[in-house]
């Protein structure tokens, strides 16, 4: 380990920045995130540095060339000029005086280096490659940024507030460690991240008492929208919850690629439904979620698309409320928006449609009980979920109620996934196309003149 990683108390640091260009501005912006005192010396000042100096009382701006006495009473120096002689000279006298010095973008002249930082103050993650692999370091930072909650600082502040209380309640260091792991990784941590400190504090008090008595705390259910299939479309929160779940209850529309992202040792329970083949009745699914949570488990209910768009999320929540089970809902990209975006069919367009209607094409007793006249409106896009089997009826009813037989229609199968397939036609001819009989669920139906844009805007799997 060539560089020793430390965090310096910036309250007692007076930092000198030599140079006032854009490179110096970036270092100054970083320093301004701390309480450090900053002196900038340069005969020329960029607009960015001037603005920073005008806005912050931490900065003293000296508009002249560097002088050797400028290093007096400084504990840290950044050198960011385009004059190699100046850079070398400042390095030499700073090193001789025992002052930490960094010549930007010149590693041999750096007695310290600034790491790549993920800032969730008071939580700070600093990383370094020692200057040998900056692109790799940037890649790792992007990965960390994508999985760490943007408001992780709330957890840091919450932990600080209740550290002494937990220490008083649990005398064992091991007990405290296990307790905090459960707090930060469970529903209390989620409440903090959601900004609900009052609920989090109530839960922490109950959990602390229960933990001290050896009782397992109550579980919680998370209704998570898994999106239309592409795992890259998951929200950060959905991924975080999937990776800390004890039990995952998932349906047929959750792609294998998304299931691969679930915590490895979580129990996975399949409750998928297909036409005329309901593995588990909906009422039993509702009870299953409640029972698993009452056992103390963190339960993730993974639903294709969004839990509140034809996902029966409302029904499941009603059961959870009846059993007194806490829950959260994590929205997902709907199947309709995923199918539209990945097939190049905008659901609204100034020249085509000013409204969009989502409806179900699920058959019951060989009929689709919809308000057909309301669906046949000008400048409107229709999206039918679960309508592949009832496609002939949908086309006939729309034409019967006044929609033009030439109205464009699209069938989008396996939206957003590699095997996505898009078939277009008109209300009059789509059922006659031999390819239609080859379409398989999940397939969404889009009706409207916006379908005409498919050939022009299609970008995904042309």
User: Please, are residues 52 and 21 in contact by the beta-carbon 8 Å criterion?
Assistant: no
- Residue 364 pLDDT: 56
- Residue 68 pLDDT: 96
What percent of the chain lies above the pLDDT cut of 70? 96
Q: What architecture is the 11-114 domain classified under in CATH?
A: 3-Layer(aba) Sandwich (3.40)
The per-residue pLDDT for range 350-408, each reduced to its tens digit, is 999 999 999 988 755 556 788 999 999 999 999 999 889 889 999 999 999 999 999 99
Looking at 3.40.50.1820, 3.30.1280.10, 3.40.1010.10, 3.10.150.10, the CATH number of the domain 220-333 comes to 3.40.1010.10
Token pair, residue 425, equals: 């036609």
- Residue 273 pLDDT: 66
Active site residue 251: yes
Confidence of residue 277 (pLDDT cuts 50, 70, 90): low
Q: Residues 280-302: what's their mean pLDDT?
A: 91
The per-residue pLDDT for range 63-77, each reduced to its tens digit, is 999 999 999 999 999
Locate CATH 3.40.50.720 in the chain. 11-114
Active site residue 2: no
Catalytic site residue from 251, 303, 306, 397: 251
Q: Tell whether domain 336-457 is in CATH 3.40.50.170.
A: no
Q: Which helix (H) or strand (E) holds 397?
A: helix 391-400
Give the predicted TM-score (pTM) of the model: 0.64
The per-residue pLDDT for range 117-171, each reduced to its tens digit, is 888 888 888 988 877 788 888 888 888 887 787 788 898 899 989 999 999 888 8
Q: Residues 250-270: what's their mean pLDDT?
A: 91
Locate CATH 3.40.1010.10 in the chain. 220-333
Catalytic site residue from 111, 237, 268, 273: 273
Name the residue among 225, 223, 228 with its Cα closest to residue 335: 228
Q: What sections of 152-255 are H helices per DSSP?
A: 152-169, 173-185, 187-193, 197-212, 236-242
Average pLDDT, the chain: 90
- Residue 182 pLDDT: 79
- The whole-angstrom separation of Cα 265 and Cα 244 is 10
What topology does CATH give the domain 152-212?
Answer: Helicase, Ruva Protein; domain 3 (1.10.8)
């Amino acid at each position: 380990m060539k560089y020793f990683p430390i965090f310096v108390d910036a309250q007692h640091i007076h930092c000198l920045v030599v140079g006032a260009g854009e490179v110096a501005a970036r270092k100054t912006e970083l320093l301004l995130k701390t309480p450090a005192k900053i002196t900038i010396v340069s005969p020329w000042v960029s607009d960015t540095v001037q603005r920073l100096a005008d806005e912050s009382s931490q900065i003293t701006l000296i508009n002249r060339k560097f002088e050797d006495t400028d290093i007096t009473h400084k504990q840290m120096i950044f050198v960011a000029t385009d004059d190699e002689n100046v850079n070398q000279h400042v390095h030499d006298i700073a090193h001789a005086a025992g002052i930490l010095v960094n010549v930007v973008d010149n590693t041999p002249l750096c007695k310290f280096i600034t790491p790549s930082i993920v800032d969730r103050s008071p939580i700070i993650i600093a990383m370094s490659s020692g200057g040998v692999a900056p692109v790799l370091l940037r890649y790792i930072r992007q990965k960390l940024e994508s999985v760490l909650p943007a408001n992780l600082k709330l957890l840091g502040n919450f932990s600080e507030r209740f550290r002494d209380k937990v220490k008083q309640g649990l005398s064992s260091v091991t007990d405290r460690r296990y307790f905090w792991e459960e707090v930060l990784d469970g529903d209390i941590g989620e409440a903090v991240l959601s900004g609900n400190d009052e609920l989090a504090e109530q839960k922490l008090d109950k959990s602390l008492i229960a933990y001290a008595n050896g009782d397992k705390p109550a579980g919680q259910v998370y209704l998570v929208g898994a999106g239309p299939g592409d795992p890259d479309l998951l929200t950060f929160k959905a991924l975080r919850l999937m990776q800390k779940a004890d039990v995952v209850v998932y349906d047929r529309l959750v792609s294998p690629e998304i299931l691969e992202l679930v915590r490895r040792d979580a129990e996975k329970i399949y409750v998928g439904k297909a036409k005329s083949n309901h593995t588990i009745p909906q009422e039993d699914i509702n009870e299953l979620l409640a029972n698993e949570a009452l056992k103390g488990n963190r339960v993730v209910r993974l639903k294709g698309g969004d839990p509140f768009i034809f996902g029966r999320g409302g029904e499941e929540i009603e059961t959870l409320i009846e059993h007194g089970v806490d829950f959260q809902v994590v929205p997902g990209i709907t199947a309709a928006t995923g199918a539209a975006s990945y097939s190049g069919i905008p659901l609204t367009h100034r020249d085509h449609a000013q409204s969009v209607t989502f409806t179900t094409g699920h058959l019951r007793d060989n009929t689709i009980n919809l308000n057909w006249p309301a669906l046949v409106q000008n400048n409107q896009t229709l999206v039918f979920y679960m309508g592949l089997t009832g496609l002939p009826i949908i086309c006939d009813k729309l034409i019967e109620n006044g929609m033009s037989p030439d109205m464009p229609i699209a069938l989008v199968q396996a939206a957003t996934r590699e095997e996505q397939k898009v078939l277009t036609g008109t209300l009059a001819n789509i059922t006659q196309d031999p390819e239609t009989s080859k379409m398989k669920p999940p397939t969404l139906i889009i009706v409207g003149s916006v379908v005409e844009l498919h050939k022009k805007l299609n970008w995904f799997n042309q």
